[in-house]
Amino acid sequence: MVGREFGNGVRKVVERTGLTQRRLAELLGWQEAKVCDMLAGKGGVDEAEVRELLAYCRTPLKEREELLALYRESGNVYLRVPDDGVPDQVRTLINQEKDADEITCWSMVLVPGLLQIPEYVNEVTKAAPIDADDMPAVVAARVARANILEHSRTFTFYVHEQALRLPVGGEEVWREQLAHLLRMSVRKYISVRIIPTAIGMHAGTSGDFRLMKFPKYPPVVYIESLKCCLFFDDEETVDTYEAILKDLAAVALDEEQSRAVINSILEDLQ
């Protein structure tokens, strides 16, 4: 997955030059296949060659160093630690979500991020260890994630009942968040399924995650912690989390039953 992000970054660099892949390969004295593989994140180049291409394309220093860092991480589990402004984990997740055509989320404590209203996002972000000066940018980035919720993709959200009962932001925000869930749940490309508290122990107790599937790339599992995030695209890990989702699907309420639970909580707030 790191290789894919590296390839996408280099592709943008090349596109800015106006050169075709074939012409760039000719100018560098490379086979065109080498350029194609590089832009697809498949490797086939060493660091010196990466530097050569970026230099030829007159890539700005900051962007060049970021791409070289991605190149060095290629083939490893991907971990990024937040720095200033919008955390890298938020930016990287947004980029992956934009490329995915099928996203399945499991959320045990909070409403899934893609379904959070701005007021809810603000409250969740305030509780995180983020500098006050960076708050507006982080909130805006997280809110903007919802822009991918459209009919060309499919979304499945498994949500534990306790996440619905957590009064984030006070009763008014809590109520509007639940109402928003109901509105989103009736869209044909969105499925919201509740894991009821009454079932007790279940396969998802190891923590939240999401599985993203892509038209041209292997699936990616995303797991977020307080100070970093992990992306896995190896077959064994993906299979493990797909098995967890299968187990969750077996105990989750169906869509109509899930809406009934949300409605019930809303009625209690009246």
Give the pLDDT confidence of 208-258 residue by residue, as tens digits.
Answer: 999 999 987 889 898 876 666 777 888 899 999 999 999 999 999 999 999
Does residue 44 register a pLDDT over 80? no
Whether this prediction's pTM lies above 0.75 is answered by no
Rounded-to-integer distance, Cα 70 and Cα 219, Å: 19
**Largest CA-CA distance found in the chain, in angstroms, rounded:** 71
Residues making up the chain, counted from first to last = 270
The 10 Å Cβ neighbour count of residue 184 is: 16
- pLDDT value of position 43: 63
Spatial distance between the Cα atoms of 176 and 203, rounded to a whole number of angstroms? 29
Torsion of CA 70, 75, 77, 83, to 10 degrees: -10
Model confidence band, residue 39 (pLDDT cutoffs 50, 70, 90): confident
Instruction: Name residue, tokens 């969740």.
Output: 124
Q: Please report the pLDDT score of residue 42 as a whole number.
A: 64
Rounded to whole angstroms, how far apart are CA atoms 100 and 120?
24
The 3-state DSSP class for residue 218 equals: coil
pLDDT given at position 128 = 76
**Average pLDDT estimate for 65-77:** 71
pLDDT tens digits, one per residue of 177-221: 999 999 999 999 999 999 999 999 999 998 899 999 998 788 989
* Domain annotation for the chain: domains and CATH numbers: 2-76 (1.10.260.40), 79-269 (3.30.870.10)
Element (H, E) at 78: strand 78-80
User: CA angle at residue 201 from 197 to 202, to 5 degrees?
Assistant: 95
